Amino acid sequence: MLAVATVDALGGPAEFRSRFSFPLITSMVPNAHFGLPAGVWTDDTSMTLCLARSLSTYAPPGADSRVGKLGGFDEVHQLDMYSRWWKRGYLSATGSCFDIGGTIQRALFMWSNRNSAFSSESKANQRALDRIKAELDGDYCCGNGSLMRILPIGLAYWRNEEMARKYAYRSSEVTHPNKLCGEACEVWTRLILRIMNEATGEMEKKFTKLDLLTEMAGFPYTQTKLRDILALPSSGSPPPNTGTDVELEEYYRAHHPLLALIPQSSTKSNSPFLTSPIPPTNTVPSTGYVLHTLVAALYAFFTTRTFEEGAIMVVNMGDDADTVGAVYGGLAGCWYGGERGSERELFWTPKVDEWMGGLVKKELVEEVA
């Protein structure tokens, strides 16, 4: 959760700026576009916190909050949380909503203007949900607003894949009912589940990024756009059943569409902070389109070796840098994160310590987490 907020805040100043049009960002700097000081996270983290708070505090109607354990999945409760953020700055780093995606704003407007004067509240709620699904499912509504906040679903429900995937899809539908957005959230949640299960179980062998790539390639995609970039081509030769990790990696580099993007980039980086170069915009766009965000975050994760290096790469892609950074941050935080001292070379580097030290309202993120 802190990783989401950290890379979100790091990337905020690069939002809306073209790639390679600004000096390389490696530290927290002020966000000139919104007139914010360094270290302020944006709507990506606020909505992530809202979802997390909902999952941990929802109580069914009639339940006694003093008895038993609170928490659960409920679309109405989530939309109420998002509306509190939109209208009153709930769980915001600044106390106000200073940025919001167009599709999310339209969904929250529909939700806030539902009318229960002539029917029960439950019927009014359902009509509003139905209206959101009917009016915001077009291709023009395929933004990254549901993907950017999806991490808490995987963190809360990692023990049950079927439930987690179902909730990830339903969580997307409250603002982004398009099937591409829903399946992108499912895919991302499945990756989080796999990391969580491997990290908490008895691992027979070291779990590698190659294993995670295999997991992603084997997802049962229904959306062609996702399958074409995240799965292996059905017409190609299958991966080798035996052989070394080096041979399997060479196979994926030759056949997997995402890894095939890597040779199209320049062969070396001219930055001391990056061993892998930032790809050109035409190879890996980083716009607010959910597919672009998903691919850019995965590219930064799979082509770098540490949390710090991936974060620097992803925020310097520009465009929707804060959101792509937040999406990367959640996955990379799960992958690299460890207690100070145990995984210091992969996560708790001096630069990440610096970023965390400059994060505004860090205690609020920790409280919700």
More confident residue, 206 or 341: 206
Most confident segment among 174-183, 258-267, 337-346: 174-183
Helix (H, G, I), strand (E, B) or coil at 202: coil
pLDDT value, residue 338: 65
* Cα 228 from Cα 224, distance rounded (Å): 6
Q: 297: which 2 tokens?
A: 């975050």
Q: How many CB atoms lie within 10 A of CB 358?
A: 18
286-299 confidence digits (pLDDT tens): 999 999 999 999 99
Spatial contact of 258 and 229, defined as CB atoms under 8 Å apart: yes
The Cα 310–Cα 274 span in angstroms is 8
pLDDT for residue 272: 66
- If one counts the domains in the chain, the total is 1
Which of 145, 104, 193 lies closest to 112 in space, CA to CA? Answer: 104
**31 inside domain:** no
Q: Give the whole-number percent of the chain exceeding pLDDT 90.
A: 76
Residue 227 backbone dihedrals phi, psi, to 5 degrees: -60, -40
Q: Is 289 left (phi over 0), alpha (psi -120 to 50) or beta?
A: beta
Counting every residue written for the chain, the total comes to 369
At 239, is the pLDDT very low, low, confident or very high (cuts 50, 70, 90)? confident
67 within a domain of the structure (yes/no): no
How far is residue 368's CA from residue 173's CA, in Å, rounded to a whole number? Answer: 23
**Does residue 28 belong to any structural domain of this protein?**
no
Q: Would you say residue 68 lies in a domain?
A: no
Q: Which residue has the higher pLDDT, 287 or 253?
A: 287
Express each pLDDT in 1-17 by its tens digit. Answer: 999 999 999 999 999 99
335 domain residue, yes or no? yes
**Axis crossing angle, helix 209-217 with helix 290-302, rounded to the nearest 10:** 150
Q: Centre a 10 Å sphere on the Cβ of residue 2 and count the other Cβ atoms it contains.
A: 18
Q: Which residues, in sequence order, are CB contacts of 337 under 8 Å at separation 6+?
A: 3, 307, 343, 347
Q: Is residue 64 part of a domain?
A: no
Beta bridge partners of 36: 31
Mean pLDDT to the nearest integer, 37-48: 98
Q: State residue 269's pLDDT score.
A: 60
Q: What is the pLDDT of residue 266?
A: 45
Does residue 231 lie in a domain region? yes
The tokens 């320049």 sit on which residue?
266
pTM assigned to the model: 0.94
Structural domain boundaries enclosing 273: 2-22+37-58+73-368
CATH of the domain at 342: 1.10.4080.10
Give the pLDDT confidence score for residue 262 in this predicted structure. 81
DSSP-H helix ranges across the chain: 2-11, 43-57, 75-88, 102-112, 121-135, 151-157, 161-173, 179-200, 209-217, 224-230, 245-255, 290-302, 307-315, 321-336, 350-357, 362-368
15 found inside a domain:
yes
- The whole-angstrom separation of Cα 177 and Cα 131 is 10
Residue 64 has pLDDT above 70, yes or no: no
- Model confidence over 182-218: pLDDT tens digits? 999 999 999 999 999 988 876 667 888 999 999 999 9
Rounded to an integer, what is the distance from CA 64 to the centroid of its chain?
Answer: 33
